[in-house]
Amino acid sequence: MTAPPRRTVVLSPHFGDATLSLAGLIPELPGPAAVVTVFGGAPAAHLPVSWWDSSCGFSSATEAHRARLVENARASELLGVEQLALDHPDEPYAQSPELPHLERFLAELPAHATVLVPLGSNQPDHERVRELALRTLDRLGAPPPLVYADLPYTDLPYTGHPYTGHLPQWAGDQACPDLLLRYRTTVRHDLRLTDEQWARKRAAVLCHGSQLAPLAADHGSVLARGGPLCGELVWSLEKVS
């Protein structure tokens, strides 16, 4: 039996980004849904372990990649989505700046699929994914993707969220001026997680346990009920003529 075509695709630059940013909203999006890890490829075996992977407790790049695949599978199962990992190694292990597998994947999506990409306001890898998706979908004549606030990197100091922010450089419309020159943005989803949604998100985030200690070192109490993961925000884009 042929699987139904995906209706929602979330581009997660690294393992865990989609969970951290959207685990409350993902189960509410039209299915079938897939989380696609762009930098999900295996690193070359001879490469030394990166600073990030070493901080997460791994002795080798291969060990880190294998563990992340398992973590991602657990989180995807909890969220009820398909897990896909494209064959682009993460930035410290990358052999080329090109992302041909992402371009090919987007070109093969059904016309009705909704794509979500990270804002990437202060994460260069996330911005690369966003910009490639924008260019590719535009070239294909497809609608622009939705853009999600990538947590915990993007702060959400808008009315109603209990979390007041830990990144002072984030100031609403000033977060991504290059994007705003080309697109008008409209809030599509503004989710303040209920206790039930938070419990589900916390369980999914805990699946990515290898990365939580280094994240907390930079971003505080990421698992606090009123912390940087408690609200989720998604924008739609309209091209400026």
Question: Tell me, what's the pLDDT at 159?
Answer: 36
Please indicate, yes or no, if residue 2 is contained in any of the structural domains.
Answer: no
Place of tokens 């998100």: 201
Half-sphere exposure for 226 (CA within 13 Å, toward CB): 7
Q: What is the pLDDT of residues 87-135, one digit of tens each?
A: 999 988 988 888 999 999 999 999 889 999 999 878 899 999 999 999 9
Mean of the per-residue pLDDT values of the chain: 88
C-alpha radius of gyration, the chain, whole number: 17
pLDDT at residue 28 tops 80: yes
- Give the structural domain span for 117: 8-239
CB 142 within 8 A of CB 131: no
How many domains would you assign to the chain? 1
Question: Tell me, what's the pLDDT at 218?
Answer: 85
Please indicate, yes or no, if residue 222 is contained in any of the structural domains.
Answer: yes
pLDDT at residue 65 tops 90: yes
Dist CA 237 CA 139 (whole Å):
16
Please indicate, yes or no, if residue 65 is contained in any of the structural domains.
Answer: yes
Domain of 13: which CATH number?
3.40.50.10320
Question: Tell me, what's the pLDDT at 157?
Answer: 47
What angle in degrees, to the nearest 10, is found between the helix axes of 195-206 and 61-79?
A: 150
Dist CA 170 CA 142 (whole Å):
30
Tokens of 149: 């606030």
Mean of pLDDT values over 7-29: 97
Please indicate, yes or no, if residue 52 is contained in any of the structural domains.
Answer: yes
The predicted model scores a pTM of 0.90
Please indicate, yes or no, if residue 1 is contained in any of the structural domains.
Answer: no
Q: What is the pLDDT of residues 170-223, one digit of tens each?
A: 344 445 667 878 899 999 999 999 999 999 999 999 999 999 999 998 888 899
pLDDT at residue 153 tops 50: yes
Please indicate, yes or no, if residue 3 is contained in any of the structural domains.
Answer: no
CB 190 within 8 A of CB 233: yes
Helix runs in the chain, H state only = 17-22, 51-55, 61-79, 100-107, 124-139, 177-180, 195-206, 212-219
Strand pairing category for 8-12 and 114-118? parallel
Place of tokens 């299915």: 31
Please indicate, yes or no, if residue 156 is contained in any of the structural domains.
Answer: yes
Please indicate, yes or no, if residue 206 is contained in any of the structural domains.
Answer: yes
Dihedrals φ, ψ of 42, to 5°?
A: -75, 135
Grade residue 163 by pLDDT with cuts at 50, 70 and 90: very low
